[in-house]
Structure 1
Amino acid sequence: MRRDGHRAPLDAPRHELADEAEGYLLAHSHRDQARREAEDLCARMPWLTTAQAEELTGHYVRRRLDVTLELLRGTVRRTEELREEYEGRYADLRHVLLRRHAACACAVLACAGGVSALTVLLTR
């Protein structure tokens, strides 16, 4: 088990392991893209020393990853809100549908009982 209480990746089902691998690759892709952008920026500023360029690159990459992380967290929050909203809506619709089906079943049973009673009366 990991420190956060979740199972280790090797114990996880395949889809969780695939999701984790995809997230890892996506994070590295974002970091590499940010590093390339920072290096392009530093290349346009030839007066920077090597140490300054490395410091600027590091700062840019950290800031860019922070912004990306915040965007992803915002997306996760919104998807959770939408999930709750849709699940609530689905439960409401399911209850309405169940009530309508129950009412229709009662009406069919009442009609069947009425027809049966009428048949008994007419055959006497």
Structure 2
Amino acid sequence: MSGLRKRGTGTGGDLGNEVEGYLLWQARVAEAEQRAREFTGPLDWLTTAQREEVERQYTADSLRRARADLERVAARCVSLRAEYEHRYQELRRRCLAVVLAVCAGCTALTALLLAL
């Protein structure tokens, strides 16, 4: 999980984010283990060793898929952030251009009125 987010960004919420991420991942692990037990429950013919191996494989597969999902979501978040930052920069440039045009128009109008 630590590779999914930037470290050392200097904000006070980093520790809180790390703890929250850790707790969420531990809940995901517990959920995967529970689902693995539920999966092997009806399989009465499995030996204890076989049951443990199937549960271990099922849990590992579930966690691999969960990690891949989280990485896709994190990548999409980064992509959206870059897109929104680009749009924000464009909006700022447009607003600045409008303000400068209005100021130039007011200055020209004032100069014209003073000349008359």
Taking structure 2 as the reference length, the TM-score comes to 0.88
> Which residue, 18, 23, 26 being the options, matches 1:25?
23
> Which residue, 78, 81, 89 being the options, matches 2:79?
81
How many residues are paired up? 109
**Identical amino acids, percent of aligned pairs:** 32
Q: Which runs of 4+ in 1 moved over 6 A?
A: none
* Distance in 1 separating the partners of 2:11 and 2:81: 23
Q: CA deviation at 1:28?
A: 0.5
Q: CA deviation at 1:14?
A: 3.8
**Which letter maps to 1:65?**
L
**Which letter maps to 1:34?**
A
Q: Does 1:56 align with 2:16?
A: no
Taking structure 1 as the reference length, the TM-score comes to 0.83
> Which residue, 103, 106, 110 being the options, matches 1:112?
110
Considering only aligned residues, what root-mean-square deviation do their CA atoms show, in Å? 1.4
| CA distances 1:14-66 after superposition (whole Å, capped 9, x unpaired) | 41111000111011100000000000111110111110111011111111011
Structure 1 residues not aligned, in runs of 5+: 1-5, 119-124
Q: Mark the structure with the bigger radius of gyration.
A: 1
Structure 2 residues not aligned, in runs of 5+: 1-6
Which residue does 1:43 correspond to in 2?
41
* Distance in 1 separating the partners of 2:22 and 2:62: 17
